[in-house]
Chain A
Amino acid sequence: MSLLPPLPVAGPLAVAGLLLALGHALPRRTPDVVALLAALAAGGVCVVMATQAAAHPIVYWFGGWAPRQGFPIGIGFVVGQAGAAFAAFIALLFAATIVFAWGYFDEVHAHFHVLMLLFMAGMIGFCLTHDLFNMFVWFEVQSIAGFALTGYQLRSSALEGALNFTVTNTIGAYLILAGIGLIYARVGVLDFSALQAGVARSPHDVVIDVSFALLSTGFLIKAAQVPFQFWLADAHAVAPSPVSVIFSGAMVALGIFGVTRLFWAVYAPAPEIQAVVRTLFLGMGTASAVVGGLMAISQRHLKRLLAFSTISHIGLLLIGFSLESREGLAGLFVYLAGHGLVKGAMFMVAGVLLAELASIDEIGLRGLGGQVWPAGVAMGLGGLLLAGMPLGLMGAGTDLLDAAAKAAGEEWVPFVVVFAAACTGGAVLRATGRIFLGLGPVAGEEKRAPTEDEQEKADRPLWVMLLPIVALLAIAIIGGGSGAAWASRMAVPFMQPDNQGVLGLAPFAAAPSSAPLHAPGTRLAWLSVALALGIAGFNLSRQLLPVGLPEIVDAMLKPVFAVVQKLHSGLIGDYIAWVAVGLAMFTIAFAWSG
């Protein structure tokens, strides 16, 4: 039996415990080195497991409690290629972030690194587990690490953002727990394979439907999808930039991964749940893509801008999931990786601006980016990738998502993708032009957006901060073709888990041979890039346009922006009211389709 599955989870946990116990006695940079090595080691183990899992998933029962006559009595890790690959991606992102944050968190001894290692261990455990309650435990571990890291800077806005984040996500966690209780009541076990058998036995069961709604709500709160997305911008804007890298790059994606995993591993046999996913989740993803895009354009605080862009792109992932097809799932995997890498790099650029130029306000930084021009190149490149340029992982993912949408008959989805990419890419390109090229003296809607005076410690050399940015963008660009091929192969066993094999009731069936998908690249990719450049160009050249034109466009768009801005009020009471609205949406969707 493979020895590897517990290592990427238990290893960082043990290292974190030891760091905490010995933290006071260690020399200055030791926690950074130890944390980096732990992240790289965990990533390496996950890569090895991903290759080993090609034939059939690696099954590991903790404590030696293998199933007895097919009844799972202990907790199992079932490491499929998709889970191992996502875990490896997470470890890579953490390694890059630890390099980026070298020496940043000096004053709290090893506490930052302890929290980061726990954050990573929780995420990796979430990806590899095959037990519903174990999934919840790792979900909570990484949630709490995130809560603790958000308020680090102790500014009043940081604490308010952290409070909004913590309260919203904790309610999500309690909803997940309620969902677990409900499905346990009906089926009586906690292992995915046994649960799926139970769901297949009782279709159209209201207890199972409600448990799916609660579990999905909890995960979609983490994934910041409409109507649960309000907390993300608040948390991102105030968290230290290394922490924001992880939030946008991995943590939010974890919510989508959770919903996807739960659906294919447990709930897929229920026809009414399939119907709700096809309709409600498609709608939620579209709404998130649109709202995120609109809000991104109307921000001046760079981290808030990027946070809304994350909401938009994760909305596209949710659309990919809702199509319930192999192309959609493969597109989700590829786009998830690409977006995580690019968005992580963008937050690192924001960190560079905060450290070197002591500001994060796009309008305030106009023209001041000259001394950190490599960051400008990175930001421009990232903006083009976010805008849908047919290059690398994001381009391949977009192609697969478009192909999946066409195959499912939803011809309008590629235009939503274009809209989201154009808005978010345009916002980032506009910011690049303004900060690094000094363009855009006249600001539009973004002038009225919330902002703050901020800075971060500048005690590490620029090249230490630029190195991970370059690395992440390079992987995002180079990985395109092979990434798509791997993802399309990983999607098949993800969608059709071999439950008999996992529970020891039958030997593992040979993995169905599956050729990689070929998604034709569409010309829509260049359309979104052109639109993004157009949006950026329009915003940066208001003073050059014929008099009256910018005013007319602004007047037309003002009501839209105003409504969306007003809803993002920053008040926790509003956010929880929207959570209730989300639950009502699930109720209506089930009533409609059941």
Chain B
Amino acid sequence: MSPKIRLLVFLAAVVCILPAVGRLALQMPAFGAHPLPYGDAIDAAAPGERHVTNMVSAINFDYRGFDTLGEEFMLLCAVTGTVVLLRGHRGEALEARPGIVRGRAIAPRSEAVALISRLTAPVIVLFGVYVALHAMTTPGGGFQGGVIIATGMLLAFFGDGYPGWRRVSNSKVLDAFEGGGAALYALCGFASMLLGLPFLTNFLPIGTLKDVFSGGLMLVENAGVGLAVTGSFLLLFLEFLEETRTKKPKDGP
């Protein structure tokens, strides 16, 4: 279809759908004022049963922990796919100078950027670890913390350039983080089964409310997720940064 006809077809379809959307918007449950039985049930049960104050983490790592297992492996899947898709066509030499694009001025290395990156990167990584481990008490969790850690480590690229980045990233270690973190989560589930309980039951002592050591198995699961997410995002950054190297000839792998 030519672009004009395609747009006409699309708009015609939208015109057909609009009355239904209007009717839907008017018949939806009252915004902010309709019953939320599932949420209320968990709010009532989780602080007492699991000694956690973060209900979202309780859902993600206990009540609906099996969903998070799938999500974890979805991340693994996508990162493995990205690695497979971006393979080949580039060398491994550390002397390569990525980020050089013809026609664009080469920015000189800035001492201020390097200093600030070196100062703030460890703080950010530490903050990420804090966010990951305090999932049971305050907003946070393995996913959020893992992304913060990965972004903190990316500051090595901003401050110290490509050689600095390559010094702190090693794809074999990152693969181990990623696979190991995901496998750790799955093994938590199997550990419950070894004790004769259903998969992913929280069998560790659940600690005290508002303490970092609460929630039992949730803490271990969080660590696994944090590890896996850190490894995944760092691998993604690594793969995409590698792409800025000079191109190789276009022949297939």
Please say whether the chains A and B touch (CB closer than 8 A). yes
Chain A residues at the B interface, C-beta cutoff of 8 Å: 1, 3, 6, 10, 13-14, 16-24, 60-65, 68, 71, 73-75, 107-108, 111-112, 114-115, 118, 121-122, 125, 133-134, 137-138, 140-141, 144-145, 147-149, 151-155, 182, 185-186, 188-190, 205-207, 210, 567, 569, 571, 573-574, 576-578, 580-581, 583-584, 587-588, 590-591
Whether a CB of chain A sits under 8 angstroms from the CB of B119 is no
Neighbouring B residues of A71 by C-beta, 8 Å: 37, 41
Neighbouring A residues of B36 by C-beta, 8 Å: 188
Pick 16 A–B contacts, CB within 8 A, sort by A: A1-B198, A3-B193, A6-B198, A14-B183, A62-B66, A62-B198, A73-B41, A108-B87, A112-B84, A137-B74, A573-B6, A577-B7, A580-B17, A584-B13, A587-B16, A587-B19
Find A573's partner among B3, B12, B42, B183 (CB 8 Å cutoff).
Answer: B3
Is A587's CB under 8 angstroms from B253's CB? no
Neighbouring B residues of A63 by C-beta, 8 Å: 62-63, 65-66, 198-202
Find B85's partner among A19, A154, A206, A578 (CB 8 Å cutoff).
Answer: A154
Expressed in whole angstroms, the Cα–Cα distance for A122 and B23 within the complex equals 36
Is B67's CB under 8 angstroms from A137's CB? yes
Is B73's CB under 8 angstroms from A121's CB? yes
Q: Interface segment, B24-32, B121-129, B155-163?
A: B24-32
Find B200's partner among A62, A112, A121 (CB 8 Å cutoff).
Answer: A62
Q: Render B177-191 as a binary contact track against A, CB cut-off 8 A, 1 for contact.
A: 011101100110110
Whether a CB of chain A sits under 8 angstroms from the CB of B101 is no
Whether a CB of chain A sits under 8 angstroms from the CB of B115 is no
Question: Which of B20, B74, B81, B87: most chain A Cβ within 10 A?
Answer: B81
Neighbouring A residues of B7 by C-beta, 8 Å: 577
Question: Which of B35, B41, B70, B84: most chain A Cβ within 10 A?
Answer: B70
Question: Which of A3, A65, A73, A151: most chain B Cβ within 10 A?
Answer: A65
Neighbouring B residues of A190 by C-beta, 8 Å: 38
Residue of A nearest to B73 (CB): A13
Knowing A62-B199, A148-B77, A574-B1 touch, does A133 contact B10 (C-beta < 8 A)? Answer: no
Whether a CB of chain A sits under 8 angstroms from the CB of B48 is no
Whether a CB of chain A sits under 8 angstroms from the CB of B116 is no
Expressed in whole angstroms, the Cα–Cα distance for A145 and B74 within the complex equals 8
Name the distance in Å between A133's Cβ and chain B's nearest Cβ: 6
Whether a CB of chain A sits under 8 angstroms from the CB of B64 is yes
Expressed in whole angstroms, the Cα–Cα distance for A580 and B7 within the complex equals 11
Interface of A is mostly: helix
Name the distance in Å between B65's Cβ and chain A's nearest Cβ: 6
Neighbouring A residues of B85 by C-beta, 8 Å: 148, 151-152, 154
Neighbouring B residues of A591 by C-beta, 8 Å: 20
Expressed in whole angstroms, the Cα–Cα distance for A153 and B190 within the complex equals 36
Residue of A nearest to B23 (CB): A206
Find A10's partner among B14, B37, B199 (CB 8 Å cutoff).
Answer: B199
Neighbouring B residues of A111 by C-beta, 8 Å: 80, 83-84
Expressed in whole angstroms, the Cα–Cα distance for A228 and B36 within the complex equals 35
Interface of B is mostly: helix
Is B17's CB under 8 angstroms from A583's CB? yes
Knowing A185-B29, A574-B6 touch, does A115 contact B73 (C-beta < 8 A)? Answer: no
Whether a CB of chain A sits under 8 angstroms from the CB of B104 is no
Is A207's CB under 8 angstroms from B24's CB? yes
Residue of B nearest to A137 (CB): B70
Whether a CB of chain A sits under 8 angstroms from the CB of B150 is no
Is B66's CB under 8 angstroms from A115's CB? no
Is B42's CB under 8 angstroms from A75's CB? no
Is A114's CB under 8 angstroms from B80's CB? yes
Is B6's CB under 8 angstroms from A577's CB? yes
Is A588's CB under 8 angstroms from B37's CB? no
Is A75's CB under 8 angstroms from B64's CB? yes
Closest 3 pairs (CB-CB, A-B): A148-B81, A21-B179, A17-B183
Residue of B nearest to A19 (CB): B179
Neighbouring A residues of B183 by C-beta, 8 Å: 14, 17-18, 21
Is A152's CB under 8 angstroms from B175's CB? no
Find A125's partner among B28, B70, B182, B186 (CB 8 Å cutoff).
Answer: B70
Is A17's CB under 8 angstroms from B84's CB? no
Name the distance in Å between A150's Cβ and chain B's nearest Cβ: 9
Find A577's partner among B10, B28, B87 (CB 8 Å cutoff).
Answer: B10
Knowing A63-B63, A75-B66, A138-B70 touch, does A189 contact B37 (C-beta < 8 A)? Answer: yes
Is B189's CB under 8 angstroms from A6's CB? yes
Neighbouring A residues of B136 by C-beta, 8 Å: none
Expressed in whole angstroms, the Cα–Cα distance for A125 and B14 within the complex equals 35
Chain B stretch 54-74: residues in CB contact (< 8 A) with chain A? 62-67, 69-71, 73-74
Whether a CB of chain A sits under 8 angstroms from the CB of B204 is no
**Apart from A16-B182, A20-B179, A108-B84: 9 A-B pairs, beta carbons within 8 A:** A17-B73, A63-B66, A108-B87, A122-B70, A144-B77, A148-B80, A185-B28, A577-B10, A587-B16
Whether a CB of chain A sits under 8 angstroms from the CB of B113 is no
Neighbouring B residues of A138 by C-beta, 8 Å: 70
Expressed in whole angstroms, the Cα–Cα distance for A190 and B182 within the complex equals 25
Expressed in whole angstroms, the Cα–Cα distance for A1 and B192 within the complex equals 14
Neighbouring B residues of A121 by C-beta, 8 Å: 73
Neighbouring A residues of B187 by C-beta, 8 Å: 14
Residue of A nearest to B228 (CB): A17
Expressed in whole angstroms, the Cα–Cα distance for A430 and B71 within the complex equals 45
Is A24's CB under 8 angstroms from B179's CB? no
Neighbouring A residues of B172 by C-beta, 8 Å: 24
Expressed in whole angstroms, the Cα–Cα distance for A586 and B76 within the complex equals 35
Neighbouring B residues of A581 by C-beta, 8 Å: 9, 13
Expressed in whole angstroms, the Cα–Cα distance for A175 and B252 within the complex equals 36
Knowing A68-B41, A74-B64, A152-B84 touch, does A577 contact B35 (C-beta < 8 A)? Answer: no
Name the distance in Å between B188's Cβ and chain A's nearest Cβ: 10
Find B189's partner among A10, A23, A133, A186 (CB 8 Å cutoff).
Answer: A10
Neighbouring A residues of B41 by C-beta, 8 Å: 68, 71, 73
Is B27's CB under 8 angstroms from A17's CB? no
Expressed in whole angstroms, the Cα–Cα distance for A1 and B196 within the complex equals 10
Residue of B nearest to A112 (CB): B84
